[in-house]
Amino acid sequence: MSIPLVDLKAQYLTIQSEISAAMERVISRTAFIGGEEVKQFEQEFADYCEVKACAAVGNGTDALYLTLRGLGIGPGDEVITVAHTFIATTEAISLTGARPVFVDIREDTMLICPDAIEAAITPRTKAILVVHLYGQPCEMDRLMEIAQAHGLKVIEDAAQAHGARWQGHRVGSLADAACFSFYPGKNLGAYGDGGAVVSQDEDLIRHIRMLANHGRLEKYTHEIEGVNSRLDSLQAAILRVKLPYLDQWNQSRQKLAAAYIEALGNSDVILPVIHPNAESVWHLFVIRVSDRKRFQAYLKDQGISTGVHYPIPLHQQPAYRYLQITQGSLPVTEKIAQEIVSLPMYAELTNHMVNDVVTSIHSYLGQKIAV
């Protein structure tokens, strides 16, 4: 038995002929940058996210950076976020010249703790960058309330949460702007790098599109200095094939997550907790165990791959030593970083494979198998 953490080939095989046709279409038109495919994808993804506009960009990190810049965030500003995320979240803040300010997470959902935010707000705070980690939306009503009370912008890092909902509304439509990654392993993944920003604010999206294309809206006129961060047409065409399948793939993940939860309900592992107002799209299925190294080694021996997202919180990374944040200042983040393990999760994973993973976990725990 061999069960990977994620299997991109399994998905590719289900849409192979459509992908080939889409790639052929782009290549035969030889319109490799911009053009119809990108324009169409931007409209389709904006519609999917229930927002007015979308700017497709080179990757999720750039989506975050360009959004922060588009919102006017720069040197001297502070942006509140979490240390329990991928470093791209804070790289984007630092790239603008602003400073990341970390707050702790809730122990149950492992997402930003709204109660921790107010104490971190200073006169320099300009925005809150919330991360819908593992596919689960943050508590957006409370977060927006806090932001409005203090005149702050809110940006969603939705790199792991395409299609998730908070109180019935799609991630991407819940704040000033939202940023997505189409890195291949994401719920909606390209066959290379890709990203997008969505917003109800069409002017903001126009500005971000300009920043992403050397500061121009027309070929030879550069309004400002920007960067080169465009989604290429081949990736747009691939994403257009995949987008209509996204809800069905997310539903498959939801069923698999329910199967894991039911089968592991009476065991000693700590299961993920989803807020009652949230609909997760289960980018990752993350449990907590007390002796992670031994747990992972045992599963590996059984042919089951696991991961850790993420083992070292950002404030403890060498890259952020300059912030001088002392050990123990984000106690929940630091604690769960020692315990989290990601189990195999992707739309094409079978119930049979989930049963095999669960059986191995029960045998590791020395318990009776109840699947």
The answer to whether residue 137 forms part of the interface with ligand PLP (CB under 6 A) is: no
Cα–Cα distance list, 104 to 37, 100, 123, 245, 335 (Å): 41, 13, 20, 35, 11
Q: Is 85 among the residues that bind ligand PLP (CB under 6 A)?
A: yes
How does DSSP classify residue 315? Answer: G
**Shortest distance (Å) from residue 104 CB to ligand PLP:** 17
Going residue by residue from 21 to 60, which x/- string records binding to ligand PLP, judged by CB under 6 A? Answer: --------------------------------------xx
Contacts of 132 (CB under 8 A, 6+ apart): 111, 138, 156, 157, 158, 160, 161, 164, 171
Least CB distance from residue 220 to ligand PLP, whole Å?
A: 30
Rounded to a whole number of angstroms, the minimum distance from the CB of residue 160 to ligand PLP is 5
Q: Report d(CA 213, CA 208) in Å as an integer.
A: 9
Distance CA 135, CA 112 (A): 14
Q: Is 86 a binder of ligand PLP (CB under 6 A)?
A: yes
Total residues at interface with ligand PLP (CB under 6 A): 15
Beta strand ranges found along the chain (DSSP E): 53-57, 78-82, 99-103, 125-131, 153-157, 165-166, 169-170, 177-181, 195-199, 216-218, 221-222, 278-279, 285-288, 340-343
Question: In the complex with ligand PLP, which residue's Cβ is closer, 234 or 354?
Answer: 234
Q: Is 89 in the site for ligand PLP (CB under 6 A)?
A: yes
In the block, tokens 């060498």 appear at 318
Q: From the CB of 64, what's the least distance to ligand PLP, in Å? A: 6
Kindly tell me which residue out of 105, 159, 314, 336 binds ligand PLP, with binding defined by CB under 6 A.
159
**Given the complex with ligand PLP, which of 132 and 170 has the nearer CB atom?**
132
To the nearest 10°, report the CA torsion of 255, 258, 259, 260. 120
Q: How far is the CB of 132 from ligand PLP (least distance, A)?
A: 8
Residue 131 interacts with ligand PLP (CB under 6 A): yes or no? yes
Q: Cα separation of 164 and 134, whole Å?
A: 10
Interface residue with ligand PLP, options 53, 88, 93, 274 (CB under 6 A): 88
Q: How far is the CB of 342 from ligand PLP (least distance, A)?
A: 12
Binding site for ligand PLP (CB under 6 A): 59-61, 85-86, 88-89, 131, 157, 159-160, 181, 183, 193, 195
